[in-house]
Amino acid sequence: MAYRAVLIIGLLVVGLLGCAKCGDAPADQKQGAAATSGDPAATEEAAPGGRKLRSEIPLRVFAVNSFSAALPALANRYRESYNGKELAITFGTPDDLIRQIRDSQAADLLILDDPDLVRMLKEEKLIEHASVLAAAQLVVITNAEKPILLSVAEDLRKAEIKTIGIPASTTAAGKASMAYLGDQTLLNVLQPRLKEYPTVAEVVKAVGSGEVTVGFAYASAVRGRKQVKSTLACGLDAPPEFIAMPVTGSQNEGNAEEFVTILQDEASKKALVTAGFVDSASRVIY
């Protein structure tokens, strides 16, 4: 009995020593175990700024239609920077995009061209930060098959210009178009010829089909459209600016912050200029 008691005590001591050694496992082994444990936190990686990125969830980007010319190329830059991180991109009108965010917070990053809407989202606490990416180039476009050459704004008075398509006056592009005509003292005289459309894209479509003679649009919306071409660049003191803002509390807010950083670097600025935007000094609004 005494022998058995000594043997059992000896085995217990060995077992306790073994457990003590297990508790001193190297840190890299512990991390390796965490990476395969299925813990959701194991899918996070640290961004250069110290933010946590969610590699397993696509980054959901909502952007106004007018930004569609540039976003696909910029999204590729993001994928390359983060090992194929996927993005889910939705284009639409500002009202539609904001309504979806209010209803279900369905986006991680929002890109708009209207500072008044950005201010409203800030007041509603749907966003905390907002940064300017680039400015829009407002142009007058004409039908490619029946072009009308415009050298200066006064040429919009030409008799053959029966109708002028213009984005809705509630949109950033519409406000800019009206401001340009006002600055050129043409708004009152041309008012009877103006025909409003809900979006820039619909103005482009109307000019391309011949529904209107000429129209106001963003240069970025004309790129790649064979039916229309730019005939006059409109100089604006304060052109509409495209603003990016992470959605507060979204499932991928860290990735959204990191994408904004990429959107503001020199390579992205060059891509935006190529797509028809104007280089604008990157700055934080909020």
Mention every residue, 6+ apart, whose C-beta is less than 8 A from residue 70: 134, 220, 271, 272, 275, 276, 277
CA distance 269 to 74: 10
Which of 22-26, 82-86, 245-249 has the largest mean confidence?
A: 245-249
Residues 207/165, Cβ–Cβ less than 8 Å: yes
Residue 139 half-sphere exposure toward CB, CA atoms < 13 A? 22
Model pLDDT for residues 261-277, shown as the tens digit of each residue? 999 999 999 999 999 99
pTM here is 0.78
Model pLDDT for residues 88-128, shown as the tens digit of each residue? 999 999 999 999 999 988 899 999 999 999 999 999 999 99
Model pLDDT for residues 121-143, shown as the tens digit of each residue? 999 999 999 999 999 999 999 99
